[in-house]
Structure 1
Amino acid sequence: MSKAERERSARQRLAEERLKQAARQKQQRMLMIVLGVVAVVAVAVVVIVTVSNSGDDKKAPKYAGPLAPTSRQADGSIVMAKAGVAKPVLEVFEDFQCPACKALEDTTGKTIKEQAAAGAVKVVYRPFRLFQQEPLKSNSQRAANAAECAPADKWVPFHDQLYANQPEEGSDGFANKDLIKWAGEVGITGDAFTQCVNGGQKNASVDQATAYAQKAGVTGTPTLMLDGKKVGDDALTPDGLKKAISAAGK
C-alpha cells in the first residue's frame, strides 16, 4: 500500500469514528430529552392527581346571592332575567350527568346568576340528554326529566342541587327517590312533582330539548351560546364570561 493510500485509509477510519461518536452523542441527548419529558409528565400527573383529590371532598358553596326572576318557556327551557331584559341572550346547554358541566357550574355558575340578577344578560338554561351509553344515558334522562318537573320559581336551586349530587361517571345514579328527596330540600314537594318524576312525564320534552340542541349544532357539554354564537373557551371563566357579555351588550 502506498503512502497516499495509507493516508486516505487513516482519514476514512477517522471520519468513520467521528460519525460513530456523533451518533453516540445524539443517542445520549435523545435519552436525556426522553427522561426529561418523562420526569415532567410524572410531575404533572402528580400535580393533577393531587389537585383532583383535594377537590373530591369539597363542593362548591351554594349560591346565596340575588336571583333574577325565572320562568319556563313553552319548549321547557328556563329563562332567568330581570323584567325588560331581552338582550344579550346567553343559552346554557348542559347535561346534569356531565362532569365538565359540573366544573363549569362550580367555577362560573355564580357569575351567570350574578350577571342575570344585575340585568346584564338574559339567561336561557337548556338541559338535555347528551349521553347515549348506559348507565349515563338513563342517569341523564332521569335528571333532565326531574328538572322539567320542577316549578320555575324553584328551578335554579334544584338545578344546583343536581350538580351538587352528581353521580360518578360510569355509575348508576340520579335515582328517582333521590331526585325527589333533593327537590324536597329546596322546597319542591307535593304529589304532582313526585308523580311527574316517577312516571317520567317530561321524557318527551327532554327528547325535544335534545333534538333542539343537536339542531343548534351542540356536540358536547357544556356549550354556551351568546346571541346564537358559541363562545370560546376563554369565556367559560368568570372574568372571560363577564367580558363577553359586556361586549355583546354593546
Structure 2
Amino acid sequence: MRDIVYPPVVLTAKTLFKVLNFKFQMTGTEHIPRSGAAVLAVNHVSYIDFVLGGFGAQPSKRLVRFMAKEAIFRNRIAGPLMRGMHHVAVDRGAGSASYREALRLLGEGEVVGVFPEATISRSFELKEFKTGTVRMAAAAGVPVIPMVLWGTQRIMTKDHPRDFSRGKTIAITVGEPITVTREDDPTEATTHLRTTMAGMLDRTIRAYPEIEQPPGSWWLPASYGGSAPTPEQAEILDQEELRRRTERG
C-alpha cells in the first residue's frame, strides 16, 4: 500500500512527543509482527489512543490502520488525514462496510487496530468487549495482538480538560499473539481476550510511576485508590451521554 500521508504524520507525532518530553514505558513490542497481517486490540481510555497505539507498533516498523468512528472522517482537518493514512471509518448504524474494508486490509497483510470496548472507558478499567475483534481475526485467519495503554487519559479524555503539560509517562504494554479460529466460540474467545488484557492493564498500572498517580488521582481507577468513577458509575454516565446524543438527533 502506498503511504504518502502516514510517514510525515508519524514524524510530526514523534517530534511532538519530544517537545512534550513524554517518558515511554514500552514492553512486549516485539510481539507485533514485522510482516504479515494481525488485528491489534487496544484498550480505550483517551481520544488520542490511536496515535499512541500506532506509536507502539513503530519498533516493528508497522503502520497500523485503525478502525475509528465515522464522525472523525467528517472533520475538515482530521478527515483528510485519516483517509490519507488508510484508517477505516466505522458507521455504527451500518458496520458491515467497515468490517469488509478491515478484512480487505488484513488480506493485504496490514495490521488493523481495533478498540474492542468501542468507546472510551470513563472508569479507566476495561468495559465489556464486543465480539467483532475476534470474529474479524478468525475470518481473516490472523492473530490478535493485545495492547494496553496507560497514561494517555491524562492528556485528553472524556469529562476532563486537555492537559498537554510536559513530562508525563506513557505506558504501552503488548502481549503475546492470540490465535483465534473459525471453530472457536466468539464469546469465549472474547472473554479470553478481555481477561488477558485485564491482567496486562493491572500489571501496567502497578508498574506506572507512583509519583505520577498518587491516591485520589482522577485518572486512577477507584479500585486502585483513585477518584475515577467506578465501572457502575461510568455506565450511568455513558447512558446519560447516549440519551443526550439521541435527543440532539
- TM surpasses 0.5: no
- Structure with the higher fraction of residues in strand conformation: 2
Q: TM-score, normalised by structure 2?
A: 0.26
Larger Rg: 1
The structure with the largest helix share of the pair is 1
